[in-house]
């Protein structure tokens, strides 16, 4: 066994003798140079003391246990840790076994052969040079490209690209408070990132490396009624002034959406199922021609009627 000189060592000590796995234990001890050059008895005593504190119904007898290294060699109490325990990048493993430890002269197994730091560095350099040469000789293909379409972001090679390779979203994502959805798929709202990323794309095309001009939308976009459903064009002064004059009516849809989001969140916190709210809103939207303002008004009307019924005792409550 070859090992470079060790100044310290991460030693993992395993006890797996008992048939009941719940009584097994693994401890990690950071040994300094003094302990690496010290006897096994120190490590055994430290582990047994710690084990017996935890497993009071299965006490280990310090005089009737011993260490073995990863090769299965039983070590004497006097055996030096660094002589029989090979270091592998700063860590090593030993095992606590039942039975009296062997005498120092009866330990069977090779000692760890120490190599100098210079020898270790030379061997590492040779290995590294060989790996570099092998890497240089290996054929290098083109680096994969990243698709920039909304909801895709997959890696692809140009030679493998085709007309139906990409499933993506036509419009950017919308992040409003805890709600996440794609502007082109407003009926697929999510409240956690994993579910949001699993929403399947609504368009199919080839992969593209062209970055979309429009970025994610937020609460301000929703309140302004800008859900990304139409391309944004530069407005003339007259158009801007006209829209500003009628801003209240123009923002009605956006305000209705924002108000319904807030209502859903409040009801969800009060214990009303968010999914139930979404289903009811979708049903109203289908009946009212997807008019956000009309849906918000209808929801308010139905909720008000329910509250009035409760107030007047017209409910089973």
9-98 CATH pick, 3.10.20.90, 3.40.50.720, 3.40.630.30, 3.30.9.10: 3.10.20.90
Determine the pLDDT at residue 200.
92
Report the topology of domain 145-205.
Answer: 4.10.1130
Residue 2 has pLDDT above 60, yes or no: no
The length of the chain in residues reads 317
The b-or-e profile of 37-47 (16+ CB within 10 A means b, else e) is: eebbbebbeeb
- Mind listing the pLDDT tens digit for each residue in 111-155? 776 555 454 555 555 655 655 665 556 566 678 999 999 999 899
Residue that wins the pLDDT comparison between 278 and 248: 278
Residue 95 has pLDDT above 90, yes or no: yes
Would you say the CATH fold of 145-205 matches that of 9-98? no
Contacts of 22 (CB under 8 A, 6+ apart): none
Residue 270 has pLDDT above 90, yes or no: no
Residue 199: strand, helix, or coil: coil
Of 89-93, 139-143, 196-200, the least confident: 139-143
Tell me the residue ranges of DSSP E strands in 7-106: 9-15, 25-31, 65-69, 74-75, 91-98
Determine the pLDDT at residue 67.
92
Name 80's bridge partners.
39
Average pLDDT of span 48-59:
91
pTM exceeds 0.85:
no
Average pLDDT of span 214-230:
63
Determine the pLDDT at residue 250.
43
Residue 89 has pLDDT above 80, yes or no: no
Determine the pLDDT at residue 138.
58
Distance from C-alpha of 40 to C-alpha of 214, rounded to nearest angstrom: 67
Query: Among 172, 168, 204, 197, which residue's Cα sits nearest to residue 186?
Result: 172
Average pLDDT of span 220-247:
54
Give how far Cα 235 sits from Cα of 232, 243, 247, 251, Å: 9, 10, 14, 17
Determine the pLDDT at residue 133.
60
| Residue ranges of domains in the chain | 9-98, 145-205, 240-311
Determine the pLDDT at residue 153.
86
Residue 90 has pLDDT above 90, yes or no: no
Determine the pLDDT at residue 74.
92
């Amino acid at each position: 066994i070859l090992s470079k000189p060790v100044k310290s060592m991460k030693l993992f000590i395993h006890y797996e003798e008992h048939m009941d796995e719940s009584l097994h234990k693994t401890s990690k001890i950071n040994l300094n140079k003094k302990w690496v050059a010290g006897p096994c008895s120190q490590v055994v005593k430290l582990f047994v003391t710690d084990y017996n504190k935890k497993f009071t119904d299965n006490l280990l007898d310090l005089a009737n246990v011993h260490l073995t290294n990863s090769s299965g060699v039983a070590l004497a109490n006097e055996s030096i840790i660094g002589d029989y325990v090979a270091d592998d990048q700063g860590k090593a493993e030993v095992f606590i076994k039942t039975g009296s430890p062997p005498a120092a002269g009866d330990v069977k197994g090779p000692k760890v052969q120490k190599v100098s730091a210079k020898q270790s560095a030379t061997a590492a350099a040779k290995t590294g040079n060989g790996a570099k040469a092998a890497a240089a000789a290996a054929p290098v293909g083109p680096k994969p490209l990243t698709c920039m379409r909304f909801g895709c972001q997959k890696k692809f090679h140009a030679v493998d690209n085709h007309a139906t390779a990409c499933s993506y979203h036509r419009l950017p994502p919308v992040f409003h408070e805890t709600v996440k959805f794609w502007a082109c798929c407003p009926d697929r709202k999510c409240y956690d990132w994993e579910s949001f990323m699993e929403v399947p794309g609504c368009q199919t095309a080839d992969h593209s490396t062209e970055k979309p001009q429009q970025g994610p939308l937020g609460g301000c976009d929703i309140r302004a009624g800008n859900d990304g459903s139409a391309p944004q064009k530069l407005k003339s002064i007259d158009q801007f002034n006209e829209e500003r004059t009628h801003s209240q009516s123009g923002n009605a849809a956006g305000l209705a959406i924002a108000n319904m989001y807030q209502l859903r969140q409040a009801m969800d916190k009060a214990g009303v199922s968010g999914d139930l709210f979404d289903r009811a809103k979708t049903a109203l939207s289908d009946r009212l021609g997807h008019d956000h303002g009309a849906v918000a008004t209808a929801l308010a009307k139905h909720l008000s009627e329910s509250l009035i019924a409760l107030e007047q005792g017209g409910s089973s409550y």
